Amino acid sequence: MIQVQQSSDLEQYETFANGDLALTKLEIEESARWIEALQLESGLVPWHAGGHIDPWNHIESVIAMAIGGRSSAALRGLDGLMKLQNRDGSFCHFYLYDGVKEADRDPNVICYFGVGALALTSIYGIDFVAPYTKMLIDAVNYVVSVQRRDGLLPALVTPDGFEKGRPLRAANCSIMTSLDAAIVYGDAANLDPKVTEPWKECLWLLRDSYRVAGDEKFASTYDWAMDWYYPILAMAGYEENDLDLRFREGKDRFFEGGFGVRCKASNRWFTAAETAEAAIAALLVGEEDSARQLFATLSRFRSNDGGYVTGIVEPQGVTFPPREKSSYTTAAVVIASEMVARDVSSSSFSDALCALGL
């Protein structure tokens, strides 16, 4: 049961919606500055003011700051991330400003710098990312090393190397997109094929395993929106027509016009990050009208300073968590807006990342 702040006053979170499919340049810059204002001295970006840090959402914020022209902040973010990397190439699951909060390793979190490296290369060029190539190589090699015999990736790995929890569908799909992006980056950076060949083998095995894996292989997360659209972002295990059908069926379950995407189908908690990511999924399957419809609802989450509230609960019309604006939410909207503006319809996620710098 979701508990919400009992206040119907959302005026401070309402925005001057421009009516366009994408944010304006000024709106993107404003959102990037808002994220930068959260950035710690270390370069790390917490979820929200006073919140914890995880590398996945941190990288997403770095990408958004780069899109918004905050190149120095993006570099500080990469430097901060590099200092967190463990000797085996992994990162811990969660950090606080002064240390580790959750020491388990999440392969999805660790692999996501593949997306970051390719996006930042598209925006600023290979020289911008080159100093961090070793960080990427070590991170992806760690993920390859913990792949299960059945080809899937575990939800978590303990610091001493034991698997923890059943595989997550959305996380495995996210790892596919990260591996693919890392491979594309490797080609752009002229990495030795001996480096990237294990990455390709890991991706091929993961895709094949995902295609035949039954629901019993994964943790039960059918109620969560991410399990709907992450397989679409990864184009995982489905023919093109099946992806179209998956998108339409999921949209009927999770989306309400004028409100956004429910984080969980069973609750009317509408979250901006899920709405933005679903808009990207719509584009990748060529559903431009759906992408427009999804993106249009994001204006209700935007505040006057460029940040986005994490979610709004209906019918009460209140923010949850109360009045929380989050870095990863704001970053997801910025990234989705840029992909929309670059016309990435009917392309792969890696192709969409490559289009960011056009």
Residue at token pair 């995902």: 210
Angle at 350 between CA 348 and CA 354, to 5 degrees: 115
Q: 169-188 and 133-145 are packed helices; what angle lies between their axes, rounded to 10 degrees?
A: 140
Asked if residue 317 belongs to a domain, the reply is: yes
Count of structural domains, the chain: 1
User: Distance between CA atoms of 164 and 16, rounded to whole angstroms?
Assistant: 45
For residue 149, how far is the Cα from the chain centroid? 26
pLDDT tens track for 269-328: 999 999 999 999 999 999 989 999 999 999 999 999 999 999 999 999 999 999 999 999
Contact in structure between 314 and 270 (CB atoms under 8 Å) = yes
Measured CA distances, 90 to 74, 94, 104, 182 (Å): 21, 12, 10, 15
Confidence of residue 3 (pLDDT cuts 50, 70, 90): very low
Q: Is residue 44 part of a domain?
A: yes
- Structural domain includes residue 1: no
Separation in Å, CA 78 to CA 39, 140, 160:
12, 16, 26
73 class by beta-carbon count within 10 Å (0-12 exposed, 13-18 middle, 19+ buried): buried
- Give which of 89, 103, 108, 194 is closest to 147, Cα–Cα: 108
CB of 327 closer than 8 Å to CB of 45: yes
Q: Pick from 214, 328, 232, 190: which is nearest to 271 by CA?
A: 328
Within 255-326, residue ranges assigned H as helices are: 272-284, 288-296
How many Å apart are CA 254 and CA 119, to the nearest integer? 28
Mean pLDDT throughout 135-156?
98
pTM of the model: 0.93
Please choose, from the candidates 205, 213, 211, 203, the residue with its C-alpha nearest in 3D space to the C-alpha of residue 238.
211
Q: Is residue 264 part of a domain?
A: yes
Range of the domain at 287: 11-357
Q: What is the CATH number of the domain that holds 128?
A: 1.50.10.10
Residue 4 lies in a domain: no
To which residue do tokens 């206040």 refer?
7
Q: Is residue 236 part of a domain?
A: yes
> What average pLDDT does this structure show over 203-209?
96
Q: What is the pLDDT of residues 76-124, one digit of tens each?
A: 999 999 999 999 999 999 999 999 999 999 999 999 999 999 999 999 9
